Amino acid sequence: MKNVLCETLGVEFPLFAFSHCRDVVAEVTRAGGMGVLGIVSMSPEQLEAELSWIDERVDGKPYGVDLIVPSKFIGKSEGDGRAPDPAQVLAGLPEEHRAFAAELLKASGLDPDIPDADRIARMRSGANMTAEGAHAMMDVAFSHPIKLIANALGVPPKEMLDRGKAEGVPVAALVGTKEHAIRQASAGVDVIVAAGGEAGGHCGSISTMVLVPEVVEAMKDFGNRPVLAAGGIVTGRQMAASMAMGAAGAWCGSVWLTTAEAETNAAVKAKMLTASSSDTVRSRARTGKHSRQLRSPWTDAWEREGAPDPLGMPLQSLISEPALARINKMADAGHEGAQALATYWVGQGVGLMNEAMTCRQVVEGFMEDFAGAHETLAACFD
Amino acid sequence: MKNVLCETLGVEFPLFAFSHCRDVVAEVTRAGGMGVLGIVSMSPEQLEAELSWIDERVDGKPYGVDLIVPSKFIGKSEGDGRAPDPAQVLAGLPEEHRAFAAELLKASGLDPDIPDADRIARMRSGANMTAEGAHAMMDVAFSHPIKLIANALGVPPKEMLDRGKAEGVPVAALVGTKEHAIRQASAGVDVIVAAGGEAGGHCGSISTMVLVPEVVEAMKDFGNRPVLAAGGIVTGRQMAASMAMGAAGAWCGSVWLTTAEAETNAAVKAKMLTASSSDTVRSRARTGKHSRQLRSPWTDAWEREGAPDPLGMPLQSLISEPALARINKMADAGHEGAQALATYWVGQGVGLMNEAMTCRQVVEGFMEDFAGAHETLAACFD
């Protein structure tokens, strides 16, 4: 395909697959798209192993990585850029939140007791969100032939921008408003991922249909910096629609969750395949920031009047993630209460994800749909 | 343009302009699109005058009308389909809501006292929402050469569907979910307007980018009944994007509000031209159902904790509309407090509406943008 990102990144088809699963990343890259590995919860050692695994499988085709370094980090030791002391962080978790989560587990017949060790294990992402942690991760990432490095929240740290420039690796960043896009481009970000409010995971409230043309327009002042459309996109027709509005490609996360290669929990996968677009909720109760996820009695409980107000990031995750890990594990083991509660991040596009496929089938389906969309528009001018 | 709606409705370019203003309707129709007059707040006599005025100006080119007949109507006399007694409705307005609105007016230096007559005048729409009222309105509408009749909330009454069929006038209906689209198509609705959550006025929560392909897919079981995309669309590129996803055209409301022909309050028009896509709010505080509007201190106040819970439809409008009419009138007269409070329904697309234009300029801009979007996609295959 003739496209700015095909030229600069060496990708055949500008479909970007954000995934925490190396199999998805490698398969999408092999099929002609570009896998981007979410690495925030990995240790540097694990990252090294994952990227080596991918390198062995992609025959030099392009892939990337995605970190999260938020501009505000609660619990960061003042100024020194190092990870906070786990015991200190744990001591700051309010009893109200612990008890609310425990009560929900108990009411569904699950063990309500979350050991400290489970919460501490979740602080890995927190460590990677500090300057020191991000530095170690970038050391590993840049020692592999990555073709893109993305930052999922806020303006990337200066180190990421500088090293990206030095290594010739474009830096991408996710934004939910035009104003953020301008800030990112001003800071030197090369590729803007404009993520609409219908996106799974962290998201704003402006829809993809409005945000993409708004950001594309704003990028005219920045040499038409390429914009990837994200949010709700799970088909090649939607990708074509975004590109008709000026996007240089599509950035998708949700659509890979139900693929054969994804390590998505089986109960959640089954729910996603039958869910409609109305079955998601945008809530602060999972991470402290607004993120969109599958609705379940778990998310409903946190949205109800009287539920504890979500904590800041990353504290809320220390409440939610260990509990949800237990829920999803027990759901896979056949526990009915857990199956009801089970949930994961997903966008409104889940309503269009009705068939389990391989990653290659998804990529090829996108290519076919994209061509179909072009023909549909062309037919208007016949 | 070659398109199913161009063929069946005789429109040159499948861009539908929903407006309460006859000038907009006539001008869009004259420019090659299709104006659709919102008639819910008119009397049959006024409707007769408006449609005659339009007939004189459009040289037989197609236009339509839009009524609101909700499936649930609060205050409707049980079973007889007649409008409720105004005095009885007024008596049902809680003091809490009256006082809250009055306090907001007073705090901005405006007269807080709303005469009963102002509220009663607002019940016109209520009357049109009854079977008897809708019947009288349809008598007038079908005596003019309308080419489309739309119902903005819920499944149209059987009378509308029957008369539409008898007169050869397609019936359209607005939906916010795939499930509603299926219900509408099953009832016999000819054209489905799929309105995303970014739309101005009444709207659901599913985004246009997801809803349009979902509804298009669902309509395969109904002989590919045509779907109009609505919600956030204010440019031809977004229209092309929607049509790339299978829509038969675009239904737009917001984009006409800032045109020269629109009777939009001047203060509100000025706000819209500078607003970003983040400056809208989806709230129940104006009509009792979720509707999207320009954010202002007025809407903020109703969203705050402790504000009265919105009443049902149409009671909430009897609180909000007379107050907002006063606010917008005083805003135009130069009252600063009123200018701050002033608001009107508008979608997130307001962020892309940055220039005052005539309706013809908007339609021609759409046509040009549409062609540009097609070229952009075509260039991918060069």
pLDDT over threshold 70, residue B101:
yes
Q: At what angle do helices A208-218 and A178-187 cross, to 10 degrees?
A: 40
Residue A299 belongs to some domain of the structure: no
B225 and B180 part of one domain: yes
B118 and B135 part of one domain: no
B93 and B229 part of one domain: no
- Please state, for a pLDDT cut of 70, what percent of chain B lies above it: 96
- Domain edge (last residue) among B203, B231, B256: B256
Residue A296 belongs to some domain of the structure: no
| Mean pLDDT estimate for chain B | 93
Cβ neighbours of B278 in A, within 8 Å: 177, 179, 205-206
Q: Residue B210: which of A198, A240, A245 has the nearest Cβ?
A: A198
Q: Residue A1: which of B2, B206, B380 has the nearest Cβ?
A: B380
Q: How high is the pLDDT of residue A221?
A: 98
pLDDT tens digits along A67-83: 987 655 444 444 555 66
User: From CA B112, how far away is CA B60, in angstroms rounded?
Assistant: 47
Q: How high is the pLDDT of residue B78?
A: 46
Which of A369, A158, A378, A305 has the alpha carbon at shortest distance from B245? A369
Residue A300 belongs to some domain of the structure: no
Residue B347 belongs to some domain of the structure: no
Report the pLDDT averaged over residues B136-157.
94
B211 and B311 part of one domain: no
- Domain edge (last residue) among B192, B222, B256: B256
Residue in A with minimal Cα distance to B243 = A377
The DSSP call for residue A256 is G
The DSSP call for residue B230 is E
Contact A348 B235 (CB under 8 A): no
Q: Residue A380: which of B1, B179, B242 has the nearest Cβ?
A: B1
User: From CA A347, how far away is CA A365, in angstroms rounded?
Assistant: 19
Residue A226 belongs to some domain of the structure: yes
B156 and B204 part of one domain: yes
B175 and B311 part of one domain: no
B205 and B252 part of one domain: yes
Contact B352 A217 (CB under 8 A): yes
Residue range of the domain that includes B61: 4-74+126-256
Report the pLDDT averaged over residues B95-123.
94
Report the pLDDT averaged over residues B348-377.
97
**Collapsing DSSP states into helix, strand and coil, what is residue B228?**
strand
Strand order in the sheet with B291-294: B201-202, B291-294, B280-283
Q: How high is the pLDDT of residue B82?
A: 65
pLDDT over threshold 50, residue A214:
yes
B103 and B137 part of one domain: no
Least confident among A71-80, A213-222, B85-94, B266-275? A71-80
Q: In chain B, which ranges are E strands?
A: 15-19, 34-38, 63-67, 148-151, 171-175, 191-195, 201-202, 227-230, 249-252, 280-283, 291-294
B116 and B139 part of one domain: no
Q: How high is the pLDDT of residue A68?
A: 83
* ipTM for this prediction: 0.95
Tally of domains within chain A? 1
Q: How high is the pLDDT of residue B77?
A: 46
Residue A25 belongs to some domain of the structure: yes
Report the pLDDT averaged over residues B351-359.
97
Q: What are phi and psi for residue A127, nearest 5 degrees?
A: -60, -40
Residue A292 belongs to some domain of the structure: no
Residue A79 belongs to some domain of the structure: no
Least confident among A151-160, B69-78, B149-158, B301-310? B69-78
pLDDT tens digits along A293-336: 999 999 999 999 999 999 988 899 999 999 999 999 999 999 99
Yes or no: say if B84 and B58 are a contact pair by the CB < 8 Å rule: no
pLDDT tens digits along A94-142: 999 999 999 999 999 999 999 999 998 888 777 777 778 888 999 999 9
B171 and B245 part of one domain: yes
Residue in A with minimal Cα distance to B352 = A214
Specify the CATH number for the domain of residue B136: 3.20.20.70
Q: What are phi and psi for residue B92, nearest 5 degrees?
A: -85, -5
Residues 6+ apart with CB under 8 A from A112: A101, A102, A103, A105, A106
B70 and B147 part of one domain: yes
